[in-house]
Structure 1
Amino acid sequence: FTEPSPVLDLKAEYVGVTSVNLTWTVSDAASDSYTYRIEVANGTSVRNVMSSFTRAEITELIPGTMYNFTVFAVANDSETEGEGVSIILYTKPSPVLDLKAEYVGVTSVNLTWTVSDAASNSYTYRIEVVNGTSVRNLTSSVNKIEITELIPGTMYNFTVFAVANDSETEGEGVSIILYTKPSPVLDLKAEYVGTDKVNLTWVMNDTASDSYTYRIEVMNITSIRNLTSSVTRVEITELIPGTMYIFTVFAVASVSQMEGEGVSRILYT
C-alpha cells in the first residue's frame, strides 16, 4: 500500500472544558477505505484515538490544558500511515467557583473566587464590569480583585472568566450582581429646633440619588426609633423637651436596600 496523503483542513469545530471535536478532509481517490489515528499529546501523556470518519470527538481531556492533536490517515491494511497533520489547542478552563464579594463599599468592591482545575496555576482571570450601557474589563493573575472607580449606589453585574495560558481560551463566565453603597449624606443640619420637634435637612450628590430613600435614626438615652424620608429633609416630632438627641441619617439605595454610612448630629430640644 502506498502512503495516504496528509489530511487537509484540520480544525476544531468545538472546544469545550473536557472535550474537543476535530474535523478534516481528504482528497485521495482511495480515501473511502481509510481510517484515521488521532494522537492526543499533553506534556507527559500520549494516547491514540481511532476514527473511521473525517471527524472525531476527543473526550476525557484536562480543563485549561494545551494539547497537540495529530491526525494520520491509515490505509486499508491498517498499517500504512500518511504523514501526520497537527493542531495545538487549549481546552477551556472550568467556570470559577464560589464567586462572592468580600467587601462592598461606596466606589469599590472586593471579589474572591476559587478554582479547582489542575492547570489553574497558569490561569489569569478577566473580570467584566457592567453598569447599564457601560462595560469595562479588568485582569487579575490571582483569584481575587479590588474593583475601583465605581459609581455610588449603583447596580453592577460582575462576571469572572478563567483564561488559559494562551491568554485567549476562556471558560464560561460566572456572574454576581451587587449594588455599591450610597455615599454619606452631606451638610446635615437643623433648620428648626423646637420644644418637641426638629426639622433636619441634608444634601446628596450621588448620580443615583433620585432612587434613594433615607433612614433617620432618632436616639436619646432611653430610646431609639427610626423614621424614613423619600426627600432630603424630615420633620421629627414627639420629642421630649429639653432633651439631648443624636440624629443619624443614612442614604438607602431603594432596590437593594444597601445603606451608606450614617452621618450624625447632636441636638437639644
Structure 2
Amino acid sequence: MKPAAREARLPPRSPGLRWALPLLLLLLRLGQILCAGDPPGPTRDPSVTTVATGESGVAQISSEAGSFHKQNGTGTPQVPTNTSEGGDDSGANDSLRTPEQGSNGTDGASQKTPSATGPSPVFDIKAVSISPTNVVLTWESNDPAASEYKCVVKNEMENETTVTVVYQPWCNITGLRPGTSYAFSVTPGTGNETWGDPRVINVVTEPIPVSGLHVALTGVRQATLSWSNGDGTASCRVLLESFGSHEESTQDFAVNISGLKPGVQYNINPYLLQSNKTEGDPLGTEGGLDVSNTERSRAGSPTAPVHNESLLGPADSSSSQQSRDTEVLLVELKPGTRYNATVYSQAANGTEGQPQTIEFRTNAIQVFDVTVVNISATSLTLTWKISDNESSSNYTYKIHVAGETDSLNLTVSEARAVISGLRSSTFYRITVYPFLGDTEGTPGFLQVHTPPGPVSDFRVTVVSTTEIGLAWSSHDAESFQMHIVCISCVQEVAWGEITTNQSILIGGLFPGTKYCFEIVPKGPNGTEGASRTVCNRTG
C-alpha cells in the first residue's frame, strides 16, 4: 500500500458511532435538495392569439419558465418550443399543455387548455327549404374534428339568436318573419369549445301567400280578380294564361303582370290588339296612372312567349291605407276563353311566396234577337244582335238552315244575311253561330214558315149583271182570302171571302159597276203569300 493511500484511509470506526452514520447520510441528502431550489410554478392563462385552419399560437404568460411543449390527449410530451407552436393538425383530441421548465430541467405543474386550431370552415351552405317562418340550412364539412355547429341568425329588426346543433350538417330555424332578409352564419366547433371560422349565407323568407283569391266579375271581354295580402308582401305578380275554349288544352297566350301593390285597384289590358305597338305603349291604368308593357309579342300563336308586364308609377295611397286587398280588372280579353290566373306574393327583394291559382272563363258571345225583316216564298232576310259592345267587324257568322227535307249553310261577316233558294210553305229552323277567330259563341235560333207563292193564272171566268166568276191556280196554299172592292160605287164598298177552292162566284153585285178582286194565298202558321188582283165590270 502506498503512503498516500494509507494517509487517506480512515481510522477504524468506533463501535459507538455505527448507529449514527445512516442518520447523517439522510440529513446530508435533505440539505442538497433544499439547496437545489423550488420548481417553477404553472403557466398563467395561456391564450390563443390566432385561430385559423392549420395554425395556432399560444402566448406564454409565466415569467419563470423558458419553454413549453404540446402534449396529446394522453399527456405524452410533443416537440418542445419556446414561444408558439403551429401545424396542420387540428384533431379534436389534441390539447396544449404549458409546463414550465426551469434551468434545472424540472417540470412545473401543467395547465390543459383548448386547442388553438379551430375546425375547418364549412362550405356549400344551402337553404334547401324556405317558407314564411322557417328556413332549413344544409352544409358540407370535411373536418372530422367538427362535432357541433353554431348557427347564428341575424336581422336588422331583431335581436341576434343562436342555434347549436350536434353531429348533423343541417339546421332547422323557425320563428322567422315572413318576407324578411336574414344573415345566417354557420361556425364549426369541437367538443372542447374550440370554434372555427364562420361562413355566411343571406336568405329572404317567403312572404305569406295571398288569400281569398276569387273572380269578382266576369263578362264577355273582362274579368275582375281580387285577393288579400299578408305580412311581408310588398307587391304581387300575376301569371295570366289563356287556353282557348274549354275543349282545348294548349296554351296560346301568357303574360306576367308584376308590381301589383297591396290596396290598389288596377285596370289592365293584357293583350296587344295591334301588331305595330312598341315597347312602352300604355296598356291600362293603375289608380289613374299608365301601365307600360316591357316585352311584346303577338298573341294567338301555338306557343306564344310570355310577356313581362311592369306596372310603373306610384300607388294610390288613399286606397292602400284602408285595405291591403288588391283588385285587378282585366279588359280586352277574348270572349268564351278559358284563363288561369296564378298570383305570387313578393317580398321587397322579389322573393316570391307560394302561388295561388284560379281558373275562370269569359262569357261566350251570344247571338240574340234574330229577326226576319223580309220574307217571300223562296227567300228571307235576317238580322240579329250580339252580346259584345265591341265592333262586330272581327266576327264571322255561320248560318245553318234546316228544312223539312233539305238544308243549307252559309257564312257572313256582318249581322245580316239574305237566305235564298227556299221552298214555299215550308217550315225552317235557322241557327246563327258567332265566331271570333276560332272561338265559337252561343248561337241564336229562329223558326219560320215560308209563305205560299202567289197564285197564277188569276182570271175572270163568268160575268153577268150581278155576278162575276173567278178562277186561279196554286200548288202550295192552304186557303185563299178574296178582297172585293166596288170601284164605281158612290161610296166605296169592300168585303171579303175565304175559300179553299181554286175558283169562286161572287154574287150580289150592282149592274154596270166596276169591281176589283184581290186574292191572297194563305199558308201554314198563318203565313200569307203575295197577292194578285183582277178588275172587271158587271153587265
Same fold (TM over 0.5): yes
- Whether 1:136 and 2:364 are equivalent positions in the alignment is no
The TM-score, its normalising length taken from structure 1, stands at 0.66
* SS class of match (1:266): strand
In the alignment, what sits opposite 1:24? none
The superposition leaves residues 211-242 of structure 1 with CA deviations (integer Å, 9 ceiling, x where unpaired) of x2101111112211110011211121211122
Q: Distance in 1 between matches of 2:338 and 2:468?
A: 73
Q: Report deviation, 1:178.
A: 2.2
AA aligned to 2:500 is: S
Distance 1:179 1:144, change over 3 A: same
Distance in 2 of aligned mates of 1:179 and 1:196: 39
Gaps of 5+ in 2: 1-127, 130-218, 223-237, 242-253, 255-269, 273-282, 284-306, 309-329, 343-350, 356-360
How far, CA to CA, are the matches of 1:140 and 1:69 in structure 2? 33
Other-structure match for 1:220: 486
Residue 29 of structure 1 corresponds to: none
Between 1:125-134 and 1:111-120, the stretch displaced more is 111-120
Quick check: 1:39 aligned with 2:240? yes
Aligned to 1:114: 385
Task: Tell whether the 8 Å contact from 2:366 to 2:387 is kept in structure 1 after alignment.
Answer: no
Aligned to 1:192: 462
One-letter amino acid matched to 1:170: E
- Cα separation, 2, equivalents of 1:157 and 1:123: 22
Amino acid at match of 1:264: T
Give the Cα–Cα distance (whole angstroms) in 2 for the partners of residues 161 and 17 of structure 1.
16
Query: More strand per residue: 1 or 2?
Result: 1
Structure 2: distance between partners of 1:266 and 1:119: 52
Instruction: Give the Cα–Cα distance (whole angstroms) in 1 for the partners of residues 441 and 336 of structure 2.
Output: 12
> Residues 92 and 163 (structure 1 numbering): CA distance in 2 closer, same or farther, change over 3 Å?
farther
- State the Cα distance separating 1:92 from its structure 2 match: 6.6
Return the alpha-carbon distance in structure 1 between the equivalents of residues 402 and 334 of structure 2.
27
TM score, norm. by length of structure 2: 0.35
CA RMSD of aligned residues (A): 3.7
Q: Does 1:96 align with 2:297?
A: no
Alignment partner, residue 471 of structure 2: 201
- Give distance in 2, aligned partners of 1:265 and 1:224: 15
Percent identity between matched residues is 26
Residues 64-104 of structure 1, C-alpha deviation per residue, up to 9 Å, x if partnerless? 36677598xxxxx97699xxxxxxxx967421132212211
Q: Deviations over 1:26-70 (max 9, x none)?
A: xxxxxxxxxxx96324525889xxxxxxxxxxxx88453667759
Q: Which amino acid aligns with 2:385?
A: T
Alignment partner, residue 101 of structure 2? none
Partner Cα distance (1:67, 1:157) in 2? 31
What's the counterpart of residue 146 of structure 1?
418
Instruction: Measure how far apart 1:190 and its partner are.
Output: 2.0
Q: 2:519 aligns with which of 244, 249, 254?
A: 249
Q: How many residues align?
A: 214
CA distance in 2, matches of 1:250, 1:108: 18
Higher Cα radius of gyration: 2
Q: Deviation at 1:266? A: 1.3
1:12-51 to 2 correspondences below 5 Å: 39-40=240-241, 41=254, 43-44=271-272
Contact 2:401 2:407 in 1 (8 A): yes
| Contact 2:379–2:419 (8 Å) recurs in 1 | yes
Query: Which residue number corresponds to residue 87 of structure 1?
Result: none
